């Protein structure tokens, strides 16, 4: 299949890609359209990712993980998103937003108790940061955590939470929740492990009728004087804005990798269709406009692919500083690129592209979320311009 190169830099990476691609094509692709249409989360299939050792892809082996790197994380997200971006998004929320963040910032006592459950897939997890009035401006969140003896009391509401509900009535199993423990911004934020069944923690509305990512559950979470033991605090009080910002780097890389999977599948579908579809007595790939759609899409996909894996290779420290410029840049470029490639695929397929049979309309809908979730295009542009303010020459 593939060979050792920028995209598969070691035998281990190549074996991982081949394994995930085979699983995705055999087990994930056949169910994708059905679960998208029903707006249902395939929890049984999600737990199969635990059986394959993928839910703890960046977790050290001592806690049951695969102990792999950012390149491996990119590979898994690319391969899953090529067949079912909705399932891939839930995988990202679990493995990157919760598991990777928790593994880096929790103490060994919490790691020993929680990681075996989330790495195996017994527990389905997520991260709760966004609120109805605090998305890109995350430091404006209003959810509070007040210390009362040996507990914290959380009060507030989180919105747009991936894996917030695994059914219309059932919460996910555990969440890394950001809340305000002090006044002002910045150092005022702390994070907590909140588990299903804790007093005052309940499911709000299950958010349906989304444009895309319909197979990935999104929900509102309500904390009505939710009592959380102080031992469930992640790290020290007031330091979690740093946790949040650093974990955004691996999140944005893997969202860009998802975009690469979407673009690849759309390119494959339009390329095949252009060969098979006849018009005016010849394959439509013989016409210049179709050639432009295919040629531009391939070149943009390859450019994004190189950017994704070069950025991933530079992330030796999965939670360290120094990667914001290119984690923003790669997501800024690749997410819009994937949407544009999906749009061209629909155009090449014409009426067949507009209906579900060929999947490109689903991939187009799913791609749009990537320009919003995990940081908007506008946020990336702001960050990049700010990070480059002292850079006058590019080498």
Residues recognised as catalytic: 251
Q: What 3-state class would DSSP assign to 321?
A: coil
Contacts with 148 (C-beta within 8 Å, 6 or more apart), sequence order: none
Cα separation, 187 vs 179, in Å, equals: 11
Rounded CA separation 180/189 (Å): 5
Please provide residue 144's backbone torsions phi and psi, each rounded to the nearest 5 degrees: -115, 155
How would you label 148-187 residue by residue, b for 16+ Cβ within 10 Å and e otherwise? eeebbbbbbebbbbbbbbbeeeebbbbbbbbbbbeeeeee
Q: How many helices (H) and strands (E) does the chain have?
A: 13, 10
CA angle 74, 76, 77 (to 5 degrees): 65
Q: How far apart are CA 250 and CA 267, in angstroms?
A: 26
Give the integer Cα–Cα distance in Å for 284 and 297: 16
- The SS3 assignment for 131 reads strand
Which helix (H) or strand (E) covers residue 205, if one does?
A: strand 201-207
Please work out, in degrees rounded to the nearest 5, the angle formed at the alpha carbon of residue 326 by the alpha carbons of 324 and 328.
65
Contacts of 185 by beta carbon, 8 Å cutoff, 6+ apart: 139, 140, 241
d(Cα 161, Cα 207) in Å, to the nearest integer? 9
The sign of the torsion formed by the CA atoms of 124, 129, 130, 132 equals: positive
């Amino acid at each position: 299949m593939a060979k050792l190169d920028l995209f598969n830099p070691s035998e281990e990476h190549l074996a991982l890609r081949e394994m995930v691609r085979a699983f995705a094509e055999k087990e994930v692709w056949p169910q994708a359209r059905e679960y998208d249409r029903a707006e249902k989360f395939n929890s049984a299939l999600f737990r199969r990712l635990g059986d394959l050792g993928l839910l703890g892809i960046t977790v050290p082996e001592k806690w049951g993980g695969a102990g792999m790197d950012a390149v491996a994380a990119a590979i898994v997200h690319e391969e899953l998103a090529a067949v079912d971006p909705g399932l891939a998004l839930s995988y990202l929320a679990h493995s990157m937003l919760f598991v990777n963040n928790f593994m880096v910032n929790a103490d060994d006592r919490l790691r020993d108790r929680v990681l075996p459950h989330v790495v195996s897939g017994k527990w389905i997890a997520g991260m709760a940061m966004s609120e109805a009035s605090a998305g890109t401006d995350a430091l404006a969140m209003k959810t509070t955590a007040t210390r009362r003896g040996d507990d914290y009391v959380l009060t507030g509401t989180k919105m747009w939470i991936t894996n917030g509900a695994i059914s219309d009535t059932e919460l996910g199993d555990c969440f890394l929740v950001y809340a305000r423990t002090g006044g002002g911004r910045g150092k005022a934020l702390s994070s907590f492990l909140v588990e299903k069944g804790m007093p005052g923690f309940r499911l709000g509305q299950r958010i349906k009728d989304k444009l895309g990512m319909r197979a990935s559950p999104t929900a509102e979470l309500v904390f009505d004087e939710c009592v959380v033991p102080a031992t469930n605090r992640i790290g020290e009080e007031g330091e979690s804005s740093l946790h949040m910002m650093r974990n955004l780097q691996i999140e944005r890389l893997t969202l860009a990798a998802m975009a690469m999977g979407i673009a690849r599948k759309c390119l494959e579908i339009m390329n095949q269709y252009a060969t098979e579809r006849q018009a005016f007595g010849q394959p439509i790939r013989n016409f210049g406009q179709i050639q432009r759609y295919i040629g531009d899409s391939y070149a943009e996909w390859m450019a994004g692919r190189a950017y994704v894996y070069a950025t991933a290779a530079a992330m030796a420290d999965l939670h360290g500083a120094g990667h914001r410029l290119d984690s923003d840049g790669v997501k800024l470029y690749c997410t819009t690129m994937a949407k544009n490639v999906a749009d061209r695929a629909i155009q090449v397929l014409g009426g067949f592209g507009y209906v579900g049979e060929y999947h490109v309309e689903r991939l187009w809908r799913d791609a749009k979320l990537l320009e919003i979730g995990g940081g908007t295009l506008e946020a990336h542009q702001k960050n990049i311009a700010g990070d480059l303010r002292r850079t006058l020459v590019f080498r």
